[in-house]
């Protein structure tokens, strides 16, 4: 391991929360595809499988930030364990109901309940932040490492989930995902020495969501479009491989995409970057957008694999830079919630991107589906450029002068003719 990575693991407890965090975040990449595989095998109804997965994603988009908000207020141990037990109960109900051929409405009820799965990646990043908040170089390396861990999960998770459900029994993928969640969360929350200090709300304190921060709005809006890139590429690549008569190769091609991001993330963590973060972030978003264009030219799987590998090189560095910007626009006491909001934007974007790509594939063929990926990239770049000035402003505080700061920002927007970012 290169010296910058060895240095961040010198702090006691870092290896333990990294390993437990890996197990805890695996369900993020296993559960959705596991439900699709399970339902399609048990019922043969792909429409139902997709609708249940979309329900899970939208539920997570609503519940996830609320769970993280409670974590910031009460601590990881007190919140994550009950939330994990609720999620486990809901997923168990879904598996039993599907196996017994229960009515569809009951499956949707359990899918909604399963959306409370904690954002373990945000929990681990908040531990790194607590350790290295005053050491920017080490924190940059730690965030780079976390992006690599995310990509590894998205390489291993779907392959494992699909393989387990097809080779063992239909419910195997979701079962192992839930088991991994239980082990990871309970192991992580047992490590009290590295748990960030909770910040209870005082009487009269501002209880509104951190999403009121204009800088965070730009990040979440951009990441919603970025999520549409990810969701559309996944679906279109599977359809493209099927048209080529090699559907099984889709998982390998997508793994190569994630591998490109892994390599870039590891190398990015070795750099000691100077200068402003905002221009670097916009450049990363633009690089992701431009890298989608060659996909439309792919005529075979080898070309597509190379194009996706190159496209993957922009992902992890942009994710790392995003984490740094979140710290600028979210108070330290609300950091976990802020990180979860970007994940929520990604999840919503993935659901939208995969749905729209499916319609385009049905209407015009697989390769045309990459138009959705290109359009999503263009939208991400447009939001990034439109919101650039907001990213360069100081974050709004939570103290008694917060309202005055917000009013000043609104007046400044009116003077310059800009509009709020939804």
Residues 174 and 25 grouped into a single domain: yes
Count of domains in the chain? 2
Q: How many CB atoms lie within 10 A of CB 70?
A: 19
Those residues whose C-beta lies under 8 Å from the C-beta of residue 175, and which sit 6 or more positions away, are: 95
DSSP-derived letter for residue 112 is H
Q: Are 225 and 346 in contact (CB under 8 A)?
A: no
Residue 197: burial class (beta carbons within 10 Å; 0-12, 13-18, 19+): exposed
Are 341 and 263 in a shared domain? yes
- pLDDT confidence of residue 206: 52
**E strand or H helix that includes residue 114:** none
Round to whole Å and give the CA distance between 297 and 393.
Answer: 40
Residue 290 inside a domain? The answer is: yes
Residues 116 and 247 in one domain: no
* Domain assignment of residue 420, yes or no: no
pLDDT in tens, the chain (422 residues): 457 788 888 888 889 989 999 998 888 778 877 887 788 778 877 667 767 877 887 888 788 888 888 888 888 888 999 999 999 999 999 999 988 888 888 999 998 888 888 888 888 888 988 888 878 788 888 888 887 887 788 777 777 777 787 778 888 888 998 999 999 999 999 998 888 888 776 544 555 666 677 778 888 899 889 888 987 887 788 778 878 888 767 778 888 888 888 888 888 877 777 778 888 889 999 999 999 999 988 888 899 999 999 998 998 888 888 877 887 777 777 777 777 787 778 777 877 787 788 778 878 888 888 999 999 999 999 999 988 888 776 554 443 334 434 444 444 444 444 333 33
With CA atoms as reference, report the closest residue to 321 among 210, 228, 253, 223.
Answer: 223
Do 176 and 233 fall within a single domain? Answer: no
Q: How many CA atoms lie within 13 A of 206 on its CB side?
A: 17
In this structure, the answer to whether residues 59 and 188 fall within a common structural domain is: yes
CB 292 within 8 A of CB 343: no
Closest residue by Cα to residue 232 from 384, 351, 344, 362 = 351
Looking at the structure, do residues 219 and 186 belong to the same domain, yes or no?
no
Contacts of 249 (CB under 8 A, 6+ apart): 241, 301
Is 38 inside a domain boundary?
yes
Query: What number of H helices and E strands is found in the chain?
Result: 17, 0
CA 32/CA 178 separation, integer angstroms: 12
Q: How many CB atoms lie within 10 A of CB 242?
A: 15
Task: Say whether both 8 and 34 belong to one domain.
Answer: yes
38 and 99 housed in the same domain: yes
CA proximity to 158, closest of 176, 142, 143, 145 = 176
One DSSP character per residue, 356-376 reads: HHHHHHHHH-TGGGHHHHHHH
Tell me: do 37 and 185 sit in the same domain: yes
Q: Is residue 350 part of a domain?
A: yes
| Cβ-contact 115, 351 below 8 angstroms | no
Rounded Cα distance, 128 and 8, in Å: 9
2 and 132 inside one domain:
yes
Mark whether 6 and 140 lie in a shared domain.
Answer: yes
Q: Are 125 and 323 in contact (CB under 8 A)?
A: yes
**Which residues constitute the domain of residue 95?**
1-197
- Report the CATH number that the domain containing residue 158 is assigned in CATH: 1.20.1250.20
**DSSP label at residue 202:** P
Non-local CB neighbours of 168 within 8 Å, separated by 6+ positions: none
Provide the phi-psi class of 245: left if phi over 0, else alpha when psi is between -120 and 50, else beta. left
Q: Tokens for 93?
A: 């109900």
* Residues 285 and 226 sit within 8 Å (Cβ to Cβ): yes
End-to-end CA distance of the chain: 42
Structural domain includes residue 417 = no
Q: Which residues contact 374 (CB under 8 A, 6 or more apart)?
A: 289, 292, 293, 295, 296
Q: In whole angstroms, give the CA distance from residue 115 to residue 123.
A: 17
């Amino acid at each position: 391991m290169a010296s910058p990575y060895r240095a961040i693991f010198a702090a006691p407890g870092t290896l333990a929360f990294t390993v437990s965090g890996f197990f805890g975040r695996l369900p993020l990449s296993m559960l959705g595809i596991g439900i699709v595989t399970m339902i399609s095998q048990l019922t043969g109804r792909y429409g139902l499988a997709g609708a249940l997965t979309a329900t899970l994603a939208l539920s997570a988009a609503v519940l996830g930030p609320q769970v993280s908000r409670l974590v910031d207020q009460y601590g990881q141990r007190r919140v994550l364990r009950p939330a994990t037990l609720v999620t486990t109960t809901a997923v168990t109900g879904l598996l039993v109901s599907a196996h017994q051929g229960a009515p569809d409405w009951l499956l949707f009820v359990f899918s909604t309940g399963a959306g409370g799965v904690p954002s373990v990646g945000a929990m681990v990043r908040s531990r790194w932040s607590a350790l290295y908040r005053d050491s920017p170089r080490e924190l940059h390396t730690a965030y780079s490492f976390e992006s690599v861990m995310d990509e590894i999960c998205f390489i291993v998770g779907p392959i494992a989930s699909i393989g387990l459900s097809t080779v063992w029994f239909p419910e195997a993928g979701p079962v192992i995902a839930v088991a991994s969640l239980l082990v990871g969360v309970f192991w992580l929350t047992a490590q009290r020495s590295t748990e960030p200090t909770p910040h209870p709300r005082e009487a009269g304190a501002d209880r509104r969501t951190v999403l009121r921060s204009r800088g965070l709005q730009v990040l979440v809006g951009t990441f919603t479009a970025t999520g549409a890139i990810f969701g559309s590429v996944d679906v279109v690549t599977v359809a493209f491989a099927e048209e080529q008569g090699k559907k099984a190769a889709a998982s390998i091609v997508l793994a190569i995409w994630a591998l490109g991001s892994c390599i870039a993330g590891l190398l990015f963590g070795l750099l000691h970057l100077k200068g402003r973060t905002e221009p670097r972030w916009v450049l990363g978003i633009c690089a992701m957008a431009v890298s989608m264009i060659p996909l439309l030219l792919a005529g075979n799987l080898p070309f597509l694999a190379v194009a996706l590998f190159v496209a993957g090189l922009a992902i992890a560095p942009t994710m790392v830079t995003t984490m740094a910007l979140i710290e600028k626009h979210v108070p330290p006491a609300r950091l976990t919630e802020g990180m979860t909001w970007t994940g929520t934007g990604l999840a919503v974007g993935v659901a939208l991107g995969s749905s729209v790509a499916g319609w385009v594939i049905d209407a015009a063929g697989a390769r045309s589906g990459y138009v959705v990926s290109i359009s999503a990239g263009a939208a991400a770049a447009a939001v990034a450029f439109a919101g650039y000035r907001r990213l360069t402003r100081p974050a709004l505080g939570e103290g008694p002068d917060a309202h005055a700061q917000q009013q000043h920002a609104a007046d400044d927007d009116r003077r310059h003719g800009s509009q709020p970012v939804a």
